Structure 1
Amino acid sequence: MKKFRGVFLKNDKEIGLMREANRIVSRILDELGKNVRPGVPTMLFEEICRARCDEYGVRPAFLGYQGFPYALCCSVNEEIVHGFPSRERILEEGDIVSFDMGVVYNGFYGDSARTFGVGEVSAESQKLMDVTRESLYKGIEQAVPGNNLYDISAAIQSYVEGFGFGIVRRFVGHGIGSHLHEKPEIPNFVPKGISGIPLKAGMVLAIEPMVTVGTHEVEVLDDKWTAVTKDGKLSAHFEHTIAVTSDGPRILSLSE
């Protein structure tokens, strides 16, 4: 493993291990999505995650990370990220729910997130999810050697703001590898007065736009983890782990 400006560059073998870690994450997210429906307690999704980690022989990446008490981040409606699964929180028709899941496979991390609608959702909720997901792919398109890191950020920001939605500033994407969070940070907006680094083959990045209907301002609840929109409006979250290669970006967090 080499380093470039503080960023670990992965070789083909390491990227292969990360592909398998992320494939497992994607399969778990597939199953979670199939179980999203009104009347379901969000703890069901935590139970699925733990059972599948046992089945695949992997370790949940988030469980115990800096004290986080669950394997799954489960965030409903105005909850942006780091929400707790609960037996008391029951999904209702029209909710949207975001799942952020990670595993460790042979010493390397996988990390991905998706937002799902519960039953029939409003046109605004569907638009929010669609724009957030598409902004992720707009960012991924820019993940090519020779581009600047902030080309990813600019593509996401331009697309999201073009629809009048807000972009969360407090939480950003990140490098990933043998650690869950590595350099560089990947904002979903272009920071002022800071130069981004050039992208290089071998970088592996977790790109994750978090988009809101209203303000980008965030509050953290008393549990010290759950981040919500300050105005109480909806938020969506999508994330892929990708490898920067000489042939273009390679999405690692796909099921097949």
Structure 2
Amino acid sequence: MRIGRNDMCWCNSGKKYKSCHMEMDERIAEYARRGAMVPSRDMIKTPEQIEGMKKAGHINSLVLDYVEPFVKAGVSTEELNRLVEEETRRLGGIPACLNYHGYPKSVCTSINEVVCHGIPDPNRILMDGDIINVDCTTIVDGFYGDASRMYCIGDVGEEKERLVKITKECLELGLSEAKPWGFLGDIGYVIHQHAKKNGYTVVRNIGGHGIGTEFHEEPWVCHIGRRNTDMLLVPGMTFTIEPMINMGKEGVTEDQFDGWTIRTEDGKPSAQWEYTILITEQGAEVLSR
């Protein structure tokens, strides 16, 4: 249904359409006329939804802050899972991973050659030389916050330490390209170029995702791209950037027994960092890190 200039805006801001989203909608329509892929209206969050996501993202970051001192040699990944679940619930959240499509734990713990979706295990004790990704997602009042961090356990050696560092740089470069009226392809382009320049590969078939009132929403965020391609970025869009960077080849395999754990095909280490971000009028705001 067409909205009149003086009608209330579709975003429930309480403002008239002409002084709220009309100009932005017209600009999106112009990009669409030129052939660009543009977001649907349900990908653009309302002010109320953005506030809900900020709260969820903040609590998600607090959970990661809480668990950080425990990510050390001698601690089991199951213990990290217990700490994440307890702190999430103490802060008023719900662990989003728990029972998501049958996933059995409250957090993902991915070590060394495990790219993502590593399942916590009481028998997997962190050891000197491990690198681990702790991936945490929290639901608060129906909204989602999602982020992951890498940790180096003891002396991991120069090669693994460099992989973790370059992967974080890839994420920050991707964030710098998350701008209103830019394109998702710009994000993937800089991530891929930086990884390739440093001798690494980017996992191609697993990426970031829209997020809000669902764990995984549109758009899908590829970490390999070309400039000025893929979906137009507009204020109000929320999604994750979470590059998975491999020391060896880009190929990955899924564990046939647990149906979740993703590993590098060649057995070489992989690293990942993740933010949930909001596209604003000025650039991007990190909602959870």
Q: TM-score, normalised by structure 1?
A: 0.95
Once the two structures are superposed, residues 73-131 of structure 1 have per-residue CA deviations (whole angstroms, 9 ceiling, x without a partner) of 11111001001101100111010011111011111100001110011211111110111
Task: Tell me the equivalent position of 1:174.
Answer: 209
Shift of 1:13: 2.5
- Please list every run of 5 or more consecutive structure 2 residues that lacks an aligned counterpart in the other structure: 1-9, 12-24, 26-37
Within the candidate set 154, 160, 173, 2:195 is matched to: 160
More strand by share: 1
The answer on 1:24 being equivalent to 2:59 is: yes
Shift of 1:195: 4.2
Once the two structures are superposed, residues 21-55 of structure 1 have per-residue CA deviations (whole angstroms, 9 ceiling, x without a partner) of 11111111122221121111111110011101220
Aligned partner letter, 1:70: K
Once the two structures are superposed, residues 170-225 of structure 1 have per-residue CA deviations (whole angstroms, 9 ceiling, x without a partner) of 2100111101111110011027xx94011100000111000010011011112100
Task: Tell me the equivalent position of 1:90.
Answer: 125
The answer on 1:106 being equivalent to 2:141 is: yes
Shift of 1:248: 1.1
Once the two structures are superposed, residues 129-179 of structure 1 have per-residue CA deviations (whole angstroms, 9 ceiling, x without a partner) of 111111101001111111011101101111111101111112100111101
Secondary structure of 2:205's aligned partner: coil
CA distance in 1 between partners of 2:205 and 2:39 (Å): 23
Following TM superposition, the consecutive aligned residue runs of length 4 or more in structure 1 with deviations greater than 6 angstroms are none
Secondary structure of 1:241's aligned partner: strand
Secondary structure of 1:252's aligned partner: strand
- Please list every run of 5 or more consecutive structure 1 residues that lacks an aligned counterpart in the other structure: none
The answer on 1:209 being equivalent to 2:243 is: yes
Within the candidate set 227, 242, 245, 2:277 is matched to: 242
CA distance in 1 between partners of 2:244 and 2:45 (Å): 26
Task: Tell me the equivalent position of 2:16.
Answer: none
Task: Tell me the equivalent position of 2:259.
Answer: 224
* Bigger CA radius of gyration: 2
RMSD across aligned C-alpha pairs, in angstroms? 1.7
Secondary structure of 1:80's aligned partner: strand
Aligned partner letter, 1:208: E
Q: Please tell me whether the aligned partners of residues 170 and 191 of structure 2 are also in contact (alpha carbons under 8 angstroms).
A: yes
Give the length in aligned residue pairs.
253
The answer on 1:143 being equivalent to 2:178 is: yes
Larger deviation, residues 18-27 vs 96-105: 18-27
CA distance in 1 between partners of 2:259 and 2:88 (Å): 26
Percent identity, aligned pairs only?
35
CA distance in 1 between partners of 2:231 and 2:86 (Å): 40
CA distance in 2 between partners of 1:159 and 1:33 (Å): 27
Q: TM-score, normalised by structure 2?
A: 0.84
Secondary structure of 2:43's aligned partner: strand
Secondary structure of 2:181's aligned partner: coil
Aligned partner letter, 2:236: G
CA distance in 2 between partners of 1:66 and 1:120 (Å): 36
Higher relative contact order (CA closer than 8 Å, sequence separation 6+): 1
